Structures are given as C-alpha cells and as structure tokens.
Structure 1
C-alpha cells in the first residue's frame, strides 16, 4: 500500500462522508413531508434508475442469479435497517442516530459466530463488550431518557448487521452491481406497497431532496467500496468514524441540536472497541500473508 493509494482512498472516503451526511439531512427534511416508507420508496426509485444505467453499461449478464432467496433475505434485513435509520432521523438528534448505528459491528460479530461459525476472538469479544457498554451509556435504560425512536435505530443496526452477513455470503458468487441491482429492485415494492396507505404526492420543492437521498444512498456505499479497494480497513474505518463528529456539527449548525455528553462518551467507548477489532484483524491478515 503506497502513499498515492492512501491519498486516493482518503478522497473516496471524503465522498462517502459527504454522501452519508447529505443522506441524513435529506432524510430529515423529507421526514416532515412523507412517511418513512415513502422516503424509502423514493430512494429505491432513484436507485433503480442509477443502478440500471450502470448495469446497462457493464452488461446485463451479471444479474443472472440462482440465489434469489438469499437476495430476498438480505434485502428484507437491509430494508429493516434503512427503516429504523430513517425513522430515527425524524425524532432524535442526528448524532444519536449515527452513534447507535455504529453498534452494527457488534451484531455482525455475534451473527457471524452464530450463522457463519466464525470464532469470537479476544479482540472481537473486547469490541462486543465495549460496544454494549457504549450503547448503555447512550440509551441509559431504566432512566426514561431514551426516545422510542432510538430503539428503532437499534433494531435498524441489527438489520444492517444481518444484511452484512448475507452480503458476505452473496459476494462469493455475485458481482457488487448484481447485489445492488436486486437491492433496489426488491426494496422498491417493500416501500411502495405500505406507502399507498397514506400516499402524498411530492411537490416540486421536495424533488431536490428526493433526488439527493436516492443518489447519496448509492454514492456513499460506492465511495466506501472504492476506498476499501485502495487501502486497508485500518486506514479506511477510522475515517468512517469521522461521521459522528461531522454529523453532530451539522445537527448543531442546521437544527440547533445540542450535543449530549452521554452520546459522546458512549460513542467513544463503542468506536474504541471497533478500532481494536479492526487493528487486530489487520495484524492477523499480515501474519497469514506468505
């Protein structure tokens, strides 16, 4: 890994960070007009058009699959994750949403052990314990301080974790564009059908936000994937942790959201556990290299 590659990875991560922040702000703006289901439907419509254009350019043969069931399980889990995330944006501070979202690696480690049979090493157990400790600091159960939407975001983080496990399984046989194609295609009716119960036709003033939430939902993951291809996770993941202070700043400047010290402390504890695990996994890969 050379310096130019690391610099390019940093630029891609800047794109990912901007995309995640823009998606959060557009989701917050749309939540005042539409239900969470309708926001997810709009996101999928834009996603289908974008991914369809990319697949047209690179070849439709790659979307042939014999694993429709696996795609469906992944997308049910991912849709649940997205629902919890966007639902939380409407009710709790942006920084709290992102902090709780960072519990996804905790659930991923547990699910990988249960489903894939991966071993819970000491670093993974440390990350698990620190993650739970950080989560308890943020939610403070029993004190009546957590908004119910925080638990929706927590459920969403579990959904993301399950989708990560399914993505790892699917990536052995499917291309990234194939996975994204079925993600947008399958999640389109998941958002559309419940949206019809309380449908609201978008006005012209909402179209920029709809376009932004759809584009950034795709660009965030694309930029992160490009960054991970250029640099090790030990370089990329700490950059992703910058999402928390940046989104806290956005919440303060645009929505006058005060920064909760318990959210900050919980996030620091949680991210420390994640970082310990990432460094340990990196060292393990170096030892395995011939």
Structure 2
C-alpha cells in the first residue's frame, strides 16, 4: 500500500505542488479518523496532558512526510524508499541524548555499516542522482526518527493511540493547508482521484502496519516492511523507466541488513531490560 501511495504521488507531482499532495493525504486521513473519534467520545478523545510531545510529533512527522513526497517527485522511487530505511539508524542515535538509552558496540557498528550503504546509494562523487534532493530525503528520515521518539515517549506517559494519531492528522492538515495557499493548483478530476488514492492508501497502510507491530514480534514484521523496496523498484521500472544500478542495489542490501540488525539488537535489549525488572 505504501508503494501504491508513492506511485500516485509521483504521478501527480509533475502538475501539483508537494504541499497540496500532503494536504490531501492528511485531510483524507483525518476524515477517515472521524468515525473512530466519535466512537471514542468525540472531542474528549483529543484531551491530552502532553502538548509538547504532540507538537514534536506533528512537526517532525510533517517534515518527514513532505520531504518523502518531495523525494518521490524528484528521485527514483526505489532510492527514496531505500534512503527512508536510514530511519532506524537515526532513531538509535537520537535515543541516546533524548531518551538516555545506551548504545553498545554492536548497534554502533551496525550504524556505521548502514551509512556505508547510504554512500553506495548516493554515490556523491559520481553525479548518479541529484545530491540535494537525496539529502532532503535523508533529513526526512531524521524527522521520522524524531517522530517515533515522540510517539514512544507519549506511549510511556499513557497517551492514547487515538489522540496521538488524531492530533498529528489535525496538525498536518493545518500545516499543509498553510503551505498550500500560495501555490494552490486546482486539480483535474483524474488528479483528484489520485489524491484520494494517496490518502486512502497511506491511511490503510499505516493502520495495517500499526496493527501488525501490535500483534506480532517486530523482528518478524520488519522484514515484510522492507519488501516495499521490491514493489517500488518494480513500479519504477515498469511505469517510470527507473532502472537501479548494481551499486545502488548493493547499498540497499547493506542498509536493509544494518536496519534489521539494529532492530534485532533493540529487541534483545528490551527483553533483557524486562527480565531485569521482574
């Protein structure tokens, strides 16, 4: 579903501004959440004691989304997807100063290896892909990592999932709406259908992924999430003529292996911490 959303974003990005596409995604997600909010008590479900962390999650999540959509518009789909896989590395790095976590030599080594994979993908001295858009996408991965930290922190503080998702949808809609005002382009009927598809596909994918992580072990679910690189590669080849180079493929393999190992070590660390607490 994420690959379908990426495909639709790329299709409409040649005629519609990125901010407008993000606005459609956030607004449709907010509309889809309305029945759930009503079931959870309406406006009472939005009550929160953590406005700071909601703000962090909203701004960082919005930054991650708009940079990813910008990447889909300017870079091959597979490379944007691959660079998004740097998020676990930045999450581990940011967890040290913000959450006070300790990172051992194994996870630190995996981060270093992961950045070697990033260099293989970017090939900064070969002009194989535009470097600035690629760095923007990497910055977006930093934003996503910060959003994940905010979500984790709010979960620890007892904030409800409904409030977390709803406030992000509200904030994202407002931010995207403000950015869209000066660049608004009235979409055609076909573009409107594509924008609705972006919103629905992204929302369904997010709900399915969240439910999968809630029900299953992260080490089992994550490898399936990484298969998105296969779908975006196939879409890029068949629809947009984007053929990945062998160097890029090697970088993706290194980056995926690094991310999976970091996740593996994180699961072990949490189990050990849980065992020590009993």
Q: Distance in 2 between matches of 1:248 and 1:182?
A: 33
In structure 2, the residue matched to 1:29 is 11
Structure-1-length-normalised TM-score: 0.89
Q: Deviations over 1:242-273 (max 9, x none)?
A: 11122101111111211222221111111111
In structure 1, the residue matched to 2:49 is 66
Q: Deviations over 1:29-68 (max 9, x none)?
A: 1202211111111111111111122111232332101222
Runs of 5+ in structure 2 lacking a partner?
Answer: none
Q: Distance in 2 between matches of 1:188 and 1:97?
A: 23
After superposition, the CA RMSD in angstroms is: 1.5
Q: Distance in 2 between matches of 1:63 and 1:255?
A: 42
Q: Provide the secondary structure at the position in 2 that maps to 1:90.
A: helix
Q: 2:256 aligns with which of 271, 281, 284?
A: 271
Q: Distance in 1 between matches of 2:184 and 2:227?
A: 36
In structure 1, the residue matched to 2:191 is 206
Structure 1 window deviating more from structure 2 (90-99 vs 270-279): it is 270-279
Contact between 2:87 and 2:145, CA under 8 Å: does it hold in 1? yes
Structure-2-length-normalised TM-score: 0.93
In structure 1, the residue matched to 2:154 is 170
Q: 2:35 aligns with which of 34, 48, 53?
A: 53
Contact between 1:74 and 1:163, CA under 8 Å: does it hold in 2? yes
Q: Deviations over 1:44-96 (max 9, x none)?
A: 11111111221112323321012222211211111111111000111111000
| Residue 103, structure 1, aligned to residue 86, structure 2 | yes
Q: Provide the secondary structure at the position in 1 that maps to 2:244.
A: coil
Contact between 1:108 and 1:165, CA under 8 Å: does it hold in 2? yes
| Residue 84, structure 1, aligned to residue 67, structure 2 | yes
| Residue 146, structure 1, aligned to residue 129, structure 2 | yes
1:179-258 paired onto structure 2 within 5 Å: 179-258=164-243
Q: Distance in 2 between matches of 1:36 and 1:119?
A: 38
Q: Provide the secondary structure at the position in 2 that maps to 1:217.
A: helix
Contact between 1:31 and 1:90, CA under 8 Å: does it hold in 2? yes
Contact between 2:86 and 2:259, CA under 8 Å: does it hold in 1? no
Q: Distance in 2 between matches of 1:196 and 1:253?
A: 34
Contact between 1:130 and 1:272, CA under 8 Å: does it hold in 2? no
Contact between 1:89 and 1:97, CA under 8 Å: does it hold in 2? yes
Q: Distance in 2 between matches of 1:223 and 1:138?
A: 29
Q: Distance in 2 between matches of 1:189 and 1:29?
A: 24
